[in-house]
Structure 1
Amino acid sequence: MLSGAGFILSPPGILKIISLLCMIIGGLIFVTYGDCTESQFWADTYIISTTASAILAMLSYTIYALGVIKSRTSINVQHIAEITFAYTVFLLMLIVSIITMTKCTNKKLPIDRVPEPLTIIGALLLAIGGTLIFLDWRSKEHIDDIQMNIPRDPQQRPNANLSRKSILI
Structure 2
Amino acid sequence: MLSGAGFILSPPGILKIISLLCMIIGGLIFVTSGDCTESHFWAVTYIISTTVSAVLAMLSYTVYALDLVKSHTTIKIQHIAEITFAYAAFLLLLIVSVITMTQCSNKKLAIDHVPEPLTIIGAILLAIGGTLLFLDWRSKEQMDDIQTNIPHQQPQRSDPYLSRKSILI
Q: Same fold (TM over 0.5)?
A: yes
Q: Which amino acid aligns with 1:118?
A: L
1:43 and 2:68 correspond: no
Distance, in Å, in 1 between the alignment partners of 2:77 and 2:92 is 22
**Structure 1 CA distance, aligned partners of 2:35 and 2:108?**
9
Deviation string for 1:68-88 (max 9, x for gaps)? Answer: 000000000000000000000
What secondary structure, in the 3-state scheme, does the structure 2 residue paired with 1:70 have? coil
Q: Give the C-alpha shift of residue 2 in structure 1.
A: 1.4
Show structure 2 runs of 5+ residues with no match: 156-162, 164-169
The percentage of aligned residue pairs carrying the same residue is 81
Q: Does 2:89 match 1:89? A: yes
State the partner residue of 1:106: 106
* 8 Å contact kept, 1:49–1:93: yes
- Residue aligning to 2:13: 13
Query: What's the counterpart of residue 55 of structure 1?
Result: 55
Question: Which stretch has the larger CA shift, 77-86 or 34-43?
Answer: 34-43
Amino acid at match of 2:154: Q
Deviation at 1:35, TM superposition (A): 3.5
Which amino acid in 2 is paired with 1:42?
Answer: W
Q: For residue 166 of structure 1, what is the aligned residue in structure 2?
A: none
Aligned mates of 1:115, 1:14 — CA distance in 2? 21
In the alignment, which residue of structure 1 is the partner of 2:141? 141
Cα distance per residue 1:99-119 (max 9 Å; x no partner): 000000110000000000000
Is 2:131 the counterpart of 1:131? yes
How far, CA to CA, are the matches of 1:89 and 1:112 in structure 2? Answer: 23
Q: Is the 8 A contact 1:8 1:14 kept in 2?
A: yes
| Structure 2 residue identity aligned to 1:45 | T
In the TM superposition, what is the alpha-carbon distance from 1:151 to its structure 2 partner? 2.5
Residue 35 of structure 1 contacts residue 106 of structure 1 at CA under 8 Å; is this kept in 2? Answer: no
- Counterpart code for 1:140: K
Give the superposition deviation at 1:147: 0.5
Superposition misfits of 4+ residues, deviation over 4 angstroms? none
Alignment CA distance shift 1:35-1:107 (3 Å): farther
